[in-house]
Structure 1
Amino acid sequence: MNEPYSPTAPRPPSGPRTSPGTMKMLMCFLAAFVVAQTIGTALFCLYLHMKTDKMEETMSLNEDYVFLRKVQKCQTAEGHKSTLLDCDKILSSFQDLQCKDGEGSKQQPKFEMQKGHEHSHSKGKNETTAAAERRQPIAAHLAGDMNSRKVSVLQWRKTGYAPMSSLISYHEGKLKVERAGLYYIYSQVSFCTKATTSAPFTLYIYLYLPNEADRLLLKGLDTHSTSQAYCDLQSIREGGVFELREGDMVFVNVTDSTQVNYNHGSTYFGMFKL
């Protein structure tokens, strides 16, 4: 009896089969391993480089120490007798190093000298300013300004021959100081007297105080002449040292301003800083 023919079924593979997921994990692991190996190698190289630098520095220090020990030994009689040391060469090298170091130390103070120069320059500026103040002292001298009306504060004017510092200003008969200190204040007033007047002629120098009564600094009196002449000239002069603050103002007043004589050099008012 004939059996029907059937083809032989394909035989399954005998070995285990690797899945794609496993291959992917294996590749990732290999890549991570390579990266870690590279980083580790780089860190090791860096560490080795730093270690080498430190060893070179240590060896350099050791060489310096050994060289100094040789110099020290060569400076003794025993070292000169030793045949293992070339003391002439060692001492010559040491002297060369000292010369180089000396040149560096000579060049180094340049900045300090420059700083000292700047300091002396600023000091010189201050000395120049002080010298300028000595050449141009803080002072003012004013001549009387004629006024026919009776006034409570005598008026003054600048003259070409008299000093007038920028640190002293003039405002409506008053001198104002722009720098505090000790000042000598002075004034002279010449006046024309008449025998018919019995009251004395009085000269006042006041410190102007805007918020309170003015403070009297100096006061001078002179009686009228008994001469029968129509007008007999007399004068009062006074002066003193006072401590003034910045912004203080002083002025001059008399009992009767219509009797003041304004001839050249007769009536004046001024101050200067001590």
Structure 2
Amino acid sequence: MNEAYSPAAPRPASGASASTMKMLMGFLVAFMVAQTIGTTLFCLYLHMKMDKTEELLSLNEDYIFLRKVQKCQTAEGQKSTLLDCEKILKAFQDLQCQDRGPSKGQPKFEMQKGHEHPHLMQKNKTSMAEEKRQPVAAHLAGVTRNKAVSVLQWMRTTYGPADSALLSYEEGRLKVKEAGLYYIYSQVTFCTKAATLAPFTLSIYLYLPMEEDRLLLRGQDTHSTSNPQCDLQSLRVGGAFRLRQGDMVFANVTDSLRMVYTHGNTYFGIFKL
């Protein structure tokens, strides 16, 4: 018998297609989730990075400002045309004033010594000089000489002041290095002998190299004695005078060979009023 030919029915492909679609959708979902998580983490990282960068920039600005302040405290920085040192230092002083007000107990920022602005340094020196000013004075003792001298010679003593910064001693003369009102004094002890008719004179002069020396003080003694050996006498003079910078003063006597130089008897001094 002849059987009727019937073509084979095609195999259904719906199962494979559905599986592929499921895999594709799962991949897309996983990709989107991963992308969302990655984007979120990147945003968090970027935000933290920006905060850190902003903090570093703030610190860097403070550092640059302090570097400018330090630069302006040097002579080189003062000459620079790229820096407005007056404005920078004013801003720095304002910051110090703000910090000093509310927090008096906290330590203040202090500029390093040796890098201070010349104007501030001068003000600091002036205030310190007013607070801790040492007297400008010198007290000298007489030096024995075996021959007559026209200018009495002196030496520094361990018990007397000698401000070498503003006073100097040069060959019997005291030189002032700062103009002002000074008190000058001197005492000499000498030997008075019998039959001495001329008075013994102590004089203090202002030394003037280009003209005749100017007499400032003078003392005289006309004491006579019957003692053929020696009677001790003393002369003392003193007065206030306005001296210029560089002026020099000295003392002399009529007869330096009659001088007595034992401790405390003969001296010469000056101090600023």
Query: Corresponding residue for 2:233?
Result: 234
Pair member with larger Rg? 1
Change (3 A) 1:188 1:111: closer
| 2:190 corresponds to 1:208 | no
Query: Corresponding residue for 1:159?
Result: 157
Question: Residue type matched to 2:175 in 1?
Answer: K
Change (3 A) 1:196 1:215: same
Query: Corresponding residue for 1:148?
Result: 146
Change (3 A) 1:110 1:218: closer
In structure 2, C-alpha distance between the alignment counterparts of 1:240 and 1:129, rounded to whole Å: 26
In structure 1, C-alpha distance between the alignment counterparts of 2:212 and 2:97, rounded to whole Å: 54
TM-score normalised per structure 1: 0.56
Q: What fraction of aligned residue pairs are identical, expressed as a percent?
A: 62
Query: Corresponding residue for 1:185?
Result: 184
In structure 1, C-alpha distance between the alignment counterparts of 2:151 and 2:241, rounded to whole Å: 20
Count of residues in Structure 1 that have an aligned counterpart in Structure 2? 164
Gaps of 5+ in 2: 1-90, 101-110, 112-118
In structure 2, C-alpha distance between the alignment counterparts of 1:145 and 1:111, rounded to whole Å: 56
Residue 263 of structure 1 deviates from its aligned partner by 0.7
Query: Corresponding residue for 2:44?
Result: none
In structure 2, C-alpha distance between the alignment counterparts of 1:226 and 1:148, rounded to whole Å: 24
Residue 224 of structure 1 deviates from its aligned partner by 3.0
Residue 197 of structure 1 deviates from its aligned partner by 1.0
Residue 129 of structure 1 deviates from its aligned partner by 1.8
Residue 227 of structure 1 deviates from its aligned partner by 3.0
In structure 1, C-alpha distance between the alignment counterparts of 2:124 and 2:185, rounded to whole Å: 34
Contact 1:195–1:224 (8 Å) recurs in 2: no
Q: Deviations 1:75-104 (Å, cap 9, x if unpaired)?
A: xxxxxxxxxxxxxxxxxxxxxxxxxxxxxx
Change (3 A) 1:113 1:122: farther
Partner-residue secondary structure (3-state), 1:252: strand
Question: Residue type matched to 1:151 in 2?
Answer: V
Query: Corresponding residue for 2:193?
Result: 194
In structure 1, C-alpha distance between the alignment counterparts of 2:204 and 2:182, rounded to whole Å: 13
Residue 204 of structure 1 deviates from its aligned partner by 0.3
In structure 2, C-alpha distance between the alignment counterparts of 1:171 and 1:260, rounded to whole Å: 21
In structure 1, C-alpha distance between the alignment counterparts of 2:121 and 2:139, rounded to whole Å: 35
Contact 2:195–2:224 (8 Å) recurs in 1: no
The root-mean-square deviation of aligned C-alpha atoms, in Å, is: 2.3
Query: Corresponding residue for 1:114?
Result: 96
Gaps of 5+ in 1: 1-108
Query: Corresponding residue for 1:170?
Result: 169
Partner-residue secondary structure (3-state), 1:225: coil
TM-score normalised per structure 2: 0.56
Q: Deviations 1:119-147 (Å, cap 9, x if unpaired)?
A: 998655422122332xx211000000010
Higher helix share: 1
Residue 229 of structure 1 deviates from its aligned partner by 4.3
Partner-residue secondary structure (3-state), 1:129: helix
**How do 1:1-274 and structure 2 match up within 5 A?**
111-114=93-96, 123-133=123-133, 136-166=134-164, 167-274=166-273
Question: Residue type matched to 1:127 in 2?
Answer: S
